[in-house]
Structure 1
Amino acid sequence: MHNGFRKVNASKVTINELMLPSHANFSGKIHGGYILMLMDQIAFASASKYSGSYCVTASVDTVDFLNPIEVGELVTMKASVNYVGNSSMVIGIRVTSENIQTGKVKHCNSSYFTMVAKDNAGKNVVVPPLQLCNLEEVRRFHNTLKRISLRNEKNRHEETFDYTSPEALEGLKQYRVKFDL
C-alpha cells in the first residue's frame, strides 16, 4: 500500500511513431484500430509508471477521431494521470500528427482510459494518491470527476429504462425504428 502522494509528472509519457503504409486502412488513412492500440499501450505505460504496478485497461471513454492521420506523418501521443481512485487511474491521452515536410501539426484525438493496477496474482492493488501541482492539473481532475458523474448517471438511466412497456416502445418510434417483436 502506498501512503505517499505522487505528482502527475510521475505518470507522464510521450511516444512518437512515424506512420507507415502498413498502418493504413482501405481509404489510405491510418487505421483507427492501430491508433487505439497505440493509445492502449501509452495508457498502460503511464498507469504502470505512476502506480509501480502492472495495469490493465478497464474502460475507454470518448474516442473521437477529429482529423485523419496520413501515411508519412509523425504521430505524437502524450499521456498522464488525470484522476486516481483506490486501484484505478484515469489516463488522459492527446494524439497529434505532424506533416514532417511542412511542419503542420493537427490535433487528432483526445481520449481517456481507465486503468486498474494489479498484483502478480491478478488482484487489485492500491495506487498512490494524487498530488495536483498546478491549475491545469486541477482542471483535468475536475473534468474527470464530471465525466465519472455523467457515466454513473448514464448507467443509472440504462438500468431504470423499462424497455418492455408499450409506452417506452411507442416513445422510441420517433427515432425511425420499426419493431418486429
Structure 2
Amino acid sequence: MEKKPCIDSLVVKNSHVLPTDTNNHGTLFGGQLMAYMDDVAAIAATRHARNPVVTASTDSVDFLYPVNAGDAICLEAFVTWTRNTSMEIFVKAVTEELLSGKRAVCATAFMTFVAVDDQNNPIQVPTVYPETEEEQWLHDGAAKRAEQRKERRGVSKEFANKFGTDFPWGR
C-alpha cells in the first residue's frame, strides 16, 4: 500500500455563522461546532483511506474563543498518523469577524476514524508521513495520544458496564 503525505488529506471548509446556529448568548452552539469538526475529519479520513470511515473517538474539545453570529468559521483537518486500520485526524477551527478581519483559533481536537469495508469490517489504511515541522510535531506525539485514548476507552467501558442500559441505573 502506497504511503501518503499528510497534505493529501487536507480539508478546508468555511461557513457563515447564522443566528439559527447560535445559542441564547449569540454564539455558535458547541454541538454545531463539534458536528462541523466531525464532518471535516470524516472527509479527511475518507480522502486518505479512499474507503468509507466511521468515527472511533473524539479527544476533548476545548472551546477557546467564542464564535459569534455573523462571523465566519473555517475548519481545517488532515490525517496526522495512522495505524493498521485507524487514522488520527487533527482539526482546527478558526473564527473570523468578517467586518474587522480579526481571527482567532476557537477550538482544536484530535479525532480517530477507522476505515471499513462494505460489511463494516475494519480494513487497512495507507501509512501517512509528515513533511512540515508542524506535521512532524503532531506525528511525533500521536503514539502517546493513542495510548491515552486506549486508556480512556477502558474507563468508558467501565462506566458502560457499571451503569448498563437501565434507567435510573437498575432501580
Q: 2:77 aligns with which of 76, 79, 97?
A: 79
Q: How does 1:40-79 map to 2 (within 5 A)?
A: 40-79=38-77
**Residues 67, 124 of structure 1: CA spacing in aligned structure 2 closer, same or farther, 3 A cutoff?**
same
Unaligned runs of 5+ in 1: 161-181
1:29: how far off? 1.0
**Residues 31, 8 of structure 1: CA spacing in aligned structure 2 closer, same or farther, 3 A cutoff?**
same
Q: 1:138 aligns with which of 112, 121, 136?
A: 136
Q: Tell me the alpha carbon deviations over residues 46-68 of structure 1, each in whole angstroms, 9 at most, x when there is no partner.
A: 00001101111000002000111
Identity over the aligned pairs, expressed in percent? 29
Q: Aligned residue for 1:18?
A: 16
Aligned length: 158
Check conservation: 2:81, 2:127, Cα contact below 8 A: no
1:158: how far off? 8.5
Q: Tell me, what secondary structure is at the counterpart of 1:107?
A: strand
1:19: how far off? 0.1
Quick check: which has more Rg, 1 or 2? 1
1:127: how far off? 0.4
Q: Aligned residue for 2:30?
A: 32
Alpha-carbon distance in 2 for matches of 1:16, 1:74: 7
Alpha-carbon distance in 1 for matches of 2:156, 2:40: 31
Alpha-carbon distance in 1 for matches of 2:15, 2:93: 11
Q: TM-score, normalised by structure 1?
A: 0.81
Unaligned runs of 5+ in 2: 159-171
Q: Aligned residue for 2:90?
A: 92
1:157: how far off? 7.8
Q: Aligned residue for 1:167?
A: none
For the aligned residues, what is the CA RMSD?
Answer: 1.8
Check conservation: 2:17, 2:70, Cα contact below 8 A: yes
